[in-house]
């Protein structure tokens, strides 16, 4: 199996006055293609920092990060932006859809920055929405949809540019139980089709549904369990 | 990407109609004011120019007598004489001279029946009416045939008519100038007072040759009035005239002129300078309002950046680069500049027309002003948009996503 993510001795350090906080402390991690992994841990355990670094939103203080075989620690902001655009699909707890755009336009947004022409963008966005069961709601604005539907729009957006990895940050955190399970079913289906999914969650029953659970505490990986 | 950004900017503007309108208003009023004020300034300039042209800004008057003679100076108009032949020589050699009019004048008592009036009688060629901007209201002007046959005819102004012909209708009647009887052949249209306070209607014109030979008995002329083709060639015409006269009067190099050439160009320059100052002043005041409009753009853009921090975070997370975000916000600012500029031009042109129609002031709308105002407003959009756009583009995606 090909390696998608490889972290080597990653440190992320914040200096606050005279206290030094190691949000990530000597983290080593490998994620192979097709894995479905949950990162769990209490608040302040460093899982959000982990997510930001894995998602190329942030740079580690030291260490090496290979994404899809490329060392990206030295990338500048624009290179990171292009990497996010091409390799990573984000799903957020609070959906992060643009309220003034329709579902279709929201899904098509990453393709704008990938330089895909408008006709093709809209066609691909339509197909992606149909795939998550929202073929009837192309022209709806986010505030006209339920939480579960919004998260499905966000998933369609994450998938649109065919990324190497899906990063989901508490994707079920704002959803009721029924919607949560529906969303998890979509993730499972994606994973069965070969997508790599990394998810941050603090809900054990959500974590249970993945194939690999990573537990963090005080910036360190304390357990790594494959099922 | 560029088309996308324009589209997004327009959509954003439509989504916030009231705010967009108020921001636009600042630029619209600014551009409109610049155009209206500068048009007004140009109008003033044009008016001044016309007024001075009417006075004769392109006129040169040659008088005998030098102004640089050393020792006791003799009065201008006395001493060495200008002749009709001098005038003919000037007319022949100076191409840029539109009219050349040698003139004689002298005070006479003019009498009709039991009415009398003392005035200055001027002898001149027929073109004097064109030079002095007179029109013939009744009858006709004297012509070249009158000049060659030295007929005793005269053209008179309104003041003469009022004083000597109380019952009106003077054309064809006889009027005595001194002791010689003249036939009135024309009446001039009223011109009123000159800028110097002279009554321009208190005039009697007779053919030059008649005046010299049959009225005054002289062989010289008092002065030669020359009208240059336009204001720009006045100086060169003056130079040529001086040279011709120096040659004809056999003045050696270094010797003092025995004549004086005067013109009104200096007055014209002063007045134009004043009009330019007025235009500049009006334009500056209006430009300040344009500047205030620009600050309005910056203000709104800053609010917009803060308000859309989360949107910026999302866009960045999805792969928007620094330049993508910068461009998006810059284009928004520029669209406000362009739309405001265009609407401002319409407002400016409309108010210029309004000012001339309702206030009766002259306005001249100049295309360069319009172009400059629009370019300036786009530039202001750009200038005041750069800071907020940079601020947006430099936002950290993590912080922006966390922003509530």
Does a structural domain hold residue A30? no
| Burial environment of residue A45 by CB neighbours within 10 A (0 to 12, 13 to 18, 19 or more) | buried
Q: In this complex, do B317 and A98 lie within 8 Å of one another by their Cβ atoms?
A: no
Confidence at residue B57, expressed as pLDDT on a 0 to 100 scale: 65
Confidence at residue B78, expressed as pLDDT on a 0 to 100 scale: 47
Confidence at residue B69, expressed as pLDDT on a 0 to 100 scale: 47
pLDDT at B270 over 90: no
φ, ψ of residue A29 to 5 degrees: the values are -160, 140
Q: Angle at CA B16, nearest 5°, toward B10 and B20?
A: 75
Give me the percent of chain B exceeding a pLDDT of 90.
Answer: 14
Confidence at residue B77, expressed as pLDDT on a 0 to 100 scale: 45
Q: Give the gap in angstroms from C-alpha A194 to the nearest C-alpha of chain B.
A: 22
CATH number at residue A51: 3.40.50.300
Q: In this complex, do A90 and B318 lie within 8 Å of one another by their Cβ atoms?
A: yes
Q: List, for residues A40-50, the tens digit of each pLDDT value.
A: 998 888 888 99
Confirm or reject contact between B7 and chain A (CB < 8 A).
no
Does a structural domain hold residue A9? no
Gyration radius of chain A over CA positions: 17
Stretch B140-164: mean pLDDT, rounded?
A: 90
Closest CA to A196 of A70, A67, A104: A67
Stretch B106-112: mean pLDDT, rounded?
A: 90
pLDDT at B367 over 90: no
How many folded domains does chain A comprise? 1
| Burial environment of residue B222 by CB neighbours within 10 A (0 to 12, 13 to 18, 19 or more) | buried
Stretch B236-255: mean pLDDT, rounded?
A: 83
The DSSP secondary structure of B134-154, one letter per residue, reads: --EEEE----HHHHHHT--EE
Q: How far is CA A44 from CA A19, A40, A48, A49, A217, in A?
A: 15, 11, 8, 9, 8
Residues of A in contact with B323 (CB under 8 A): 78
Break chain B down into helix, strand, coil percent, rounded to 5.
Answer: 55, 20, 25
Q: In this complex, do A114 and B320 lie within 8 Å of one another by their Cβ atoms?
A: no
Does a structural domain hold residue A16? no
The 3 state secondary structure assigned to B210-229 is: HHHHHHHCCCCECEEEEEEC
Q: Cα–Cα distance between A206 and A183 in angstroms, integer? A: 10
Interface test with A, best of B8, B319, B332 (most A CBs within 10 A): B319
Q: List, for residues A61-84, the tens digit of each pLDDT value.
A: 999 999 988 888 788 999 999 999
Q: Which domain holds residue A113?
A: 35-62+72-226
Among A82, A86, A96, whose Cβ lies nearest the Cβ of B321? A82
Q: In this complex, do B311 and A98 lie within 8 Å of one another by their Cβ atoms?
A: yes
Q: Cα–Cα distance between B330 and B387 in angstroms, integer? A: 9
Q: Cα–Cα distance between B285 and B273 in angstroms, integer? A: 18
Say if CB B87 and CB B226 are below 8 A apart: no
Q: Cα–Cα distance between A90 and A199 in angstroms, integer? A: 10
Which tokens is B176 given?
Answer: 């005595």
Mean pLDDT value across chain B: 84
Does a structural domain hold residue A164? yes
Confirm or reject contact between A92 and chain B (CB < 8 A).
yes
Q: Cα–Cα distance between B190 and B159 in angstroms, integer? A: 9
Q: List, for residues A100-131, the tens digit of each pLDDT value.
A: 889 999 999 999 999 898 899 999 999 999 99
**More confident position, A66 or B365:** A66
Write the CB contacts of B207 (distance below 8 Å, at least 6 apart in sequence).
Answer: B123, B124, B125, B126, B142, B146, B147, B150, B151, B153
Q: List, for residues B24-47, the tens digit of each pLDDT value.
A: 888 898 889 888 888 888 888 888
Confidence at residue B71, expressed as pLDDT on a 0 to 100 scale: 52
Would you place residue B190 in the very low, low, confident or very high pLDDT band (cuts 50, 70, 90)?
confident
Q: Cα–Cα distance between A5 and A39 in angstroms, integer? A: 14
Does a structural domain hold residue A14? no
Q: Cα–Cα distance between A66 and A87 in angstroms, integer? A: 12
Would you place residue A9 in the very low, low, confident or very high pLDDT band (cuts 50, 70, 90)?
very high
Q: In this complex, do A82 and B397 lie within 8 Å of one another by their Cβ atoms?
A: no
pLDDT at B275 over 90: no
Does a structural domain hold residue A20? no
Q: List, for residues B45-102, the tens digit of each pLDDT value.
A: 888 777 776 666 678 888 877 655 455 555 554 456 788 888 888 888 888 888 888 9
Q: List, for residues A125-173, the tens digit of each pLDDT value.
A: 999 999 998 989 999 999 999 999 999 999 999 999 999 899 999 999 8
Say if CB B183 and CB B153 are below 8 A apart: yes
Does a structural domain hold residue A94? yes
DSSP B68: S
Say if CB A1 and CB A33 are below 8 A apart: yes
């Amino acid at each position: 199996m090909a390696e998608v993510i490889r972290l080597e001795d990653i440190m992320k350090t914040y200096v606050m006055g005279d206290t030094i906080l190691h949000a990530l402390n000597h983290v080593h991690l490998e994620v192979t293609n097709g894995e479905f992994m949950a990162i769990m841990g209490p608040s302040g355990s460093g899982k959000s920092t982990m997510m930001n670094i894995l998602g190329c939103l942030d740079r580690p203080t030291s260490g090496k990060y290979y994404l899809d075989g490329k060392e990206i620690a030295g990338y500048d902001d624009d290179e990171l932006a292009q990497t996010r655009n091409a390799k990573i699909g984000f799903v957020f707890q609070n959906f992060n859809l643009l309220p003034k755009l329709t579902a279709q336009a929201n899904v098509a947004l990453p393709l704008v920055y990938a330089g895909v022409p408008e006709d093709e963008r809209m066609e691909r966005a339509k197909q992606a929405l149909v795939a998550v069961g929202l073929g009837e709601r192309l022209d709806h604005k986010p505030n006209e949809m339920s939480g579960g539907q919004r998260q499905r729009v966000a998933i369609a957006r994450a998938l649109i540019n065919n990324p190497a990895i899906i990063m989901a940050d508490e994707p079920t955190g704002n959803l009721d139980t029924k919607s949560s399970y529906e969303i998890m079913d979509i993730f499972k289906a994606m994973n069965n089709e070969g997508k790599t999914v990394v998810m941050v969650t603090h809900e054990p029953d959500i974590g249970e549904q993945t194939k690999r659970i990573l537990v963090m505490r005080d910036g360190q990986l304390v357990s790594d369990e494959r099922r | 990407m560029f088309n996308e950004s324009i589209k997004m900017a327009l959509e954003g503007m439509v989504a916030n109609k009231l705010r967009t309108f108020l921001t636009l208003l600042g630029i619209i009023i600014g551009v409109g004011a610049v155009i209206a004020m500068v048009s007004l300034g140009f109008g003033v300039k044009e008016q001044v120019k016309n007024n001075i042209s009417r006075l004769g800004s392109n006129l040169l008057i040659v008088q005998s007598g030098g102004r640089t003679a050393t020792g006791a100076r003799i009065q201008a108009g006395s001493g060495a004489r200008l002749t009709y032949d001098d005038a003919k020589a000037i007319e022949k050699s100076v191409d840029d001279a539109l009219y050349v009019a040698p003139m004689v004048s002298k005070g006479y008592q003019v009498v009709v029946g039991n009415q009398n009036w003392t005035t200055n009688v001027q002898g001149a060629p027929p073109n004097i009416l064109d030079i002095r901007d007179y029109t013939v209201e009744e009858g006709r002007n004297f012509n070249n045939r009158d000049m060659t046959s030295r007929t005793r005819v005269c053209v008179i102004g309104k003041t003469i008519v009022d004083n000597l012909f109380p019952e009106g209708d003077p054309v064809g009647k006889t009027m005595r100038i001194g002791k010689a009887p003249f036939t009135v052949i024309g009446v001039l249209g009223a011109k009123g007072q000159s800028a110097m306070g002279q009554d321009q209607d208190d005039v009697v014109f007779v053919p030059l040759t008649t005046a010299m030979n049959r009225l005054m008995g002289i062989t010289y002329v008092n002065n030669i009035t020359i009208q240059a083709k336009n204001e720009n060639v006045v100086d060169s015409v003056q130079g040529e005239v001086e040279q011709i006269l120096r040659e004809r009067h056999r003045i050696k190099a270094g010797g003092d002129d025995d004549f004086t050439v005067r013109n009104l160009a200096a007055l014209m320059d002063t007045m134009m300078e004043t009009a330019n100052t007025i235009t500049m002043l009006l334009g500056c005041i209006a430009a300040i309002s344009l500047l205030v409009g620009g600050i309005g753009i910056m203000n709104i853009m800053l609010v917009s950046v803060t308000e859309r921090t989360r949107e910026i975070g999302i866009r960045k997370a999805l792969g928007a680069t620094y330049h993508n975000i910068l461009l998006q916000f810059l284009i928004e600012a520029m669209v406000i500049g362009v739309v405001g500029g265009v609407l401002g031009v319409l407002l400016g042109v409309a108010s210029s027309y309004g000012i001339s129609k309702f206030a009766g002031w002259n306005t001249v709308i100049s295309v360069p002003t319009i172009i400059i105002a629009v370019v300036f407003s786009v530039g202001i959009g750009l200038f005041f948009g750069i800071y907020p756009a940079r601020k947006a583009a430099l936002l950290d995606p993590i912080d922006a996503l966390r922003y509530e």
